[in-house]
Each structure stands twice: as C-alpha cells, then as structure tokens.
Structure 1
Amino acid sequence: MTTTRHPEATAPEPVRRALGWAAIAGTVPYLSLKTLWLTGSTVGVRDPALLHDRSIVVLNAVTVAMDLAVIALALALTQRWGRRVPGVAILLPTWVGTGFLLPMVAAILPATLLSALTSPPVAAQDLPLEGWVRPMVYGGFAWQGVFLLLAFVLYARDRWSAEVERGGVAAAQAPPARSAAWGGAVLAGLSAGLHLINGVISADVITMGVQTINAGLAVAGSAGVLALVRGTARRRWLAAVGAWTGSAAMFSWGLWAAVTTMGATTLSVAGAPLTGMAQLTGLLGGFALA
C-alpha cells in the first residue's frame, strides 16, 4: 500500500505526540492492576480463588499483551518512524483495537457507571471484585479508545486519503468482494436482530441501550462495506468509517466471546445462548465484511 501525504490534513507533530502519550497514559491503570494480580496480589479482589483459576491467569496475561500492543500502536501512529511501518502492521491491530475500544467508549463504560448509580446495592460477598475495579478498568480502556482513535484518524488521513477518496474495486475482484460483502451483511443483520431481541428480553433500559449500540454498529458496518463495494458511497470517508468501526466491533467482541466460551472461562456466554449467537454471527459477519 502506497503512502500519500496531504499537508492540509497533517496535524502538527506536538499534537500527534500528545495524543500518543495520552493514549499510553490510559494503559497505566489496567497494566498496574493486572501486573499486581499476575504477581500474587489480591488488591481489588474479594474472592482470591478467582485469580488462581487457570483460564483467568491466561486471560490476564493475554490482555496485558494487548495493552502493551496499544502502547506500540500509539507510538507508531504518532512518531515519525511510524510512517515507515508497513500498512498491514498498522491497519490490522488498529482495526482489532477499534473493535474492542469503541464499544467501551460508547456503551460499556457508560452502562457500568449508570448501573453503579441506579442499581440496588449488592452484598459484598456476592461480588468477586471490589466495586471500583470495573469503572477504573473500563475508564482506562475508554480513555485509550478516545486518544488512540484520534491519533489513527490523523495518521490515516495523512497516509491513505487518496486511496479512500479514489476507492473502487478492481473488475476481477468485484464478484468475490460483493459476495463476501453481502454474506457479511446478512450475518451482520442477524447479529443486530439478536442483539435487539436480547435487549428487549432483558427488560432493562441500560442493557437495551448497550444492545442497541451493538446492533447499530453491525448495521453501520454492513452498510458502509456495501456502499464501498458497490461504488455508491457519496461520502467515501463516512462509508469507510462505518465499515471500519462496525466490522471491527463485531469481529473483536465476537472473537472475545468465542475464546472465553471455548476456553470454559468464568467469562463464558455459554449460559446465555442468545448472547452467544449474537456474538458468533457478529464474529463471522465482521470477518466477512473485513
């Protein structure tokens, strides 16, 4: 993929670097807490047995690695040397990161805070974690999401503006691209419907809000990809943003649900078949759309 520079879209270097360091700052709470847990501390944990579960140990290690990847990405997106990194080495991890972090900003953190303010108190012994852990962790993720995605927008406009604006699919690639796009759109639509049904069945306003956002991202992903593949997008950047964010959110959280369920972890959705189907169809739909 070629590199294209557009002076009018280029932000000053200090602004870029500030965004990168701000994103890195957002990793500190999570990395600190997980490092403590991995080294034997039980800070923030009411049930120490939770930290000895093998699947949780593995997940803690994996998510620490993911947060370290955020640091690497933040530097690559905001330092001059990052413009020489091969495109795929930027696009793939940023796409997956977008999928995890954008829903955290738009749905998961707000829902967590609203639940803490409006839900009746739960007995301490019924909760595995202290009440401050999830808001702190999710707040750090949301912080990362805001600044990392802002940095990526500047990076992408500087490097790939011409490609997005020119767009189009080569004639030889059009039939398979359209087939994949329509297949992904069908799966995305199914995932969106399942998310909405899940929200309605829950009879909870906060859950309904989260599921509606999930459904909206699925629709945005399929609509954006179809518009790009069919060449009907009047605003190509808007279609690209929808395609990027929607497909990423479906894939990333669907993959997380699949891994945690297949690994029989305490985070498994095996006991919630509707949620599992929504995530599975999202995983497959997001992959097809990507």
Structure 2
Amino acid sequence: MGYGTAIAVSPYLLIKIAWTFGLFMPTDQMGDPSWRIANAVTMVLAAACILLAMSFCRPWGERLPSWLVALPVWVGTGLLVPMLLIAPILGPAAINRDMEAGTADFWVYEQIFVMVSLVGVGICLPIALVGYAKARWPEALGGRIDCGNLPGDTRKLQLTLTRFVAGGCILLAIIKIFWAAGGTLGIEPSKMDDRDIWWRLLSLSTGVWAFAGAWGLLVLTSRRGSRRFLPPMAAVWISSGMLFSYNLFNRLSNSRPDAQPAPEYPLALVLTTEAGTVLGVMMGMILLLVLHDRRRAMRGESV
C-alpha cells in the first residue's frame, strides 16, 4: 500500500507543480503571491507524502526517527480520513461552487484529479501505516485495553487531562452539529445564505469526530467501554489529527484576500477554531502518554 499511496498522490503533486509555476490556473486570482506560496507548500507536502509512503515499504523506513514518521502521518490521516467519508458529496459540491464563481472549464477536470488523489491517499495511507506500525510499534495496535499499571505511570495525569479535554470536545461537537443542523446562534444574520452544503458538511464532520475523540479518550484512560485497544486508539488518533489540521487549514484559508467570508460571528469563529486546534494537540499529547505507559507495561519495565 505504500506504493499505492505514492501512485495516488502523483496527480495531486503534478497539479500543484503546475499551479506553483503559473500553469493551467483556473482563475486569475490564483496568480496572487499568497496562492503561489500555498500551492508551493502543498507541493512540498505531496512530495513528502510520497517519500513517507515509500518508507513504509522499504527497510530504511524503520530506521527513521519516530517523530519524523508519526507527525506527518498524524496530520495526514487527520485531514484525509474524515474527508474520505464525505468526499462523494463534498466533491461535486466543491465543483459546482467553483463553476458558479466563474472558474475555467478545465478546472473541473483538475478538481476530479485532486479528489481522486485525496481519496486514494485517504484509503492507502492508513492501510500502509497499519502494516508499518505492526512491525515497529505493535503495542499501538493489538491487545487488550488494560495492560496493568507500573510504578511511575502517568495514569492520574491522563485521567485529569481527559476530563478537561473530553468536556471541551463534547462542547465543540454540540456547537458544530447545532450549526450543521441549521442553528443560528453565533451566525451573522446577513450571512445566513452563505451556509452552503460545503460549510454544513465540514461542521458536521468536525462535530462527529470531536464526539468520537471524546469517547476514545474516556475509554483509553478509564479502560472501560471496549475490550480491545485499537478502536478507541484509532478514534483518538484520527480525531486529534482532524481537529488540529482542519482548524489550522481554516486559519490559513481565511487569511487569503479572496477567501469566502465565514458565516459565523468573528468571535465565535475564533473561539471554535482555536479551541479545535488546542483540543487536537492535547488529545495527541494524552495519546502519547497512554502509548508510553502501555509500552512499559507490555514490556514489564520499571522506573
């Protein structure tokens, strides 16, 4: 699946290279320096994704530092797995919105290539990661959820942080799902019509994954609610990466001069965006504590 990931991301990489150098751009606005920089950054990320995918299926990949593998995969799976679930609706909606905005006809074909690449990577990358993690970090995937405790573990800290973070995730989820369902509290009256299907789906996706992350954290730290370790771990991994990467992406997108104005009041937008980013990072930190203690317990180590 590492090779499949590299093949899937290749069309996306080629399109980003073309846009970075000013070729086949669908609108004149994409010639703006801010767009060129954004395309150059995503071009580098696509190239890094290919190298990372190759590391999953080559011997030298297991010698890479853990953070160099885990950090980009955390961000990548957080971006792509949630998008994979809503792509069948979100893809056509994005194309229709761009066509209504007056983009060039060939942009439709570029969008299709981009969506195919993202869906392909969203499928192949997690599968490749599972095979890689089984060989390098077996404690992260298999076994019972309760491996016992050792002196010097961080479980009390995990429980304390989890109560705070899970509460924040549930609150954020309620707000996002409320907005996706048509709630108007926190929405500017003059921008009610800006709540298109793109905005509603992303709000709903954020809310659902925030709930999933809260559930996963509570199960991992209490060790109740699931016999197996993998389901809650996967929920926390994807949810934390999603909350961090999507909110970071939204901040970058809203900073562009041609960005579509958000329908939320500025204060509501800032609070939910910043809260999502902080919650995603804290969820990731708690997961690292859980995995550290789990590895020690499985190996029977002591302080």
Which category of TM-score, normalised to the shorter sequence, fits these structures? 0.7 to 0.9
Distance change in 2, residues 1:209/1:184 (3 Å) = same
Deviates more, 1:93-102 or 1:216-225: 216-225
Query: For each residue in 1:127-146, what CA deviation from the matched residue of structure 2 results, as whole angstroms up to 9, or x when unmatched?
Result: 79833333321221111111
Distance change in 2, residues 1:264/1:221 (3 Å) = same
Q: CA deviation at 1:76?
A: 1.2
Map of 2:50 onto structure 1: 71
AA aligned opposite 1:80: P
Map of 1:29 onto structure 2: 11
What is the SS of the residue equivalent to 1:90?
helix
Q: CA deviation at 1:254?
A: 1.1
* Alignment of 1:258 onto 2:240: no
Deviates more, 1:51-60 or 1:266-275: 266-275
What is the SS of the residue equivalent to 1:125?
coil
Map of 2:90 onto structure 1: 112
Distance change in 2, residues 1:177/1:168 (3 Å) = farther
1:32, 1:153 → 2: CA distance? Answer: 27
AA aligned opposite 2:40: A
- 1:122-133 equivalent positions in 2, closer than 5 A: 123=100, 125=102, 130-133=107-110
Map of 1:80 onto structure 2: 59
Deviates more, 1:97-106 or 1:154-163: 154-163
Structure 1 vs Structure 2 CA RMSD: 3.0
* Alignment of 1:102 onto 2:94: no
Map of 2:296 onto structure 1: none
Distance change in 2, residues 1:129/1:242 (3 Å) = same
Structure 2 length normalisation: TM-score?
A: 0.76
- 1:147-186 equivalent positions in 2, closer than 5 A: 147-162=124-139, 164=141, 165=143, 171-186=152-167
1:251, 1:110 → 2: CA distance? Answer: 23
1:133, 1:190 → 2: CA distance? Answer: 38
Distance change in 2, residues 1:95/1:121 (3 Å) = closer
* Alignment of 1:220 onto 2:212: yes
Using the aligned pairs only, state the percent identity. Answer: 24
Distance change in 2, residues 1:163/1:146 (3 Å) = closer
Cα contact 1:99–1:247 (8 A) shared by 2: yes
Deviates more, 1:21-30 or 1:122-131: 122-131
AA aligned opposite 1:34: K
Distance change in 2, residues 1:244/1:265 (3 Å) = farther
Cα contact 2:11–2:113 (8 A) shared by 1: yes
1:189, 1:100 → 2: CA distance? Answer: 20
Map of 2:274 onto structure 1: 280
* Alignment of 1:138 onto 2:132: no
Cα contact 2:91–2:115 (8 A) shared by 1: no
AA aligned opposite 2:10: V
Map of 2:175 onto structure 1: 194
Query: For each residue in 1:171-228, what CA deviation from the matched residue of structure 2 results, as whole angstroms up to 9, or x when unmatched?
Result: 5522332232222212211221222122122786776555333322111112112211
Q: CA deviation at 1:72?
A: 1.5
2:105, 2:169 → 1: CA distance? Answer: 34
What is the SS of the residue equivalent to 1:132?
helix
Map of 2:20 onto structure 1: 38
Cα contact 1:187–1:284 (8 A) shared by 2: no
Map of 1:56 onto structure 2: 35
AA aligned opposite 2:88: P
1:38, 1:204 → 2: CA distance? Answer: 29
1:124, 1:114 → 2: CA distance? Answer: 14
Q: CA deviation at 1:157?
A: 2.2
Distance change in 2, residues 1:134/1:179 (3 Å) = farther
AA aligned opposite 1:151: A
AA aligned opposite 1:216: V
Distance change in 2, residues 1:167/1:143 (3 Å) = farther
Q: Which runs of 5+ in 1 are unaligned?
A: 1-18
Q: CA deviation at 1:104?
A: 2.1
AA aligned opposite 2:276: G
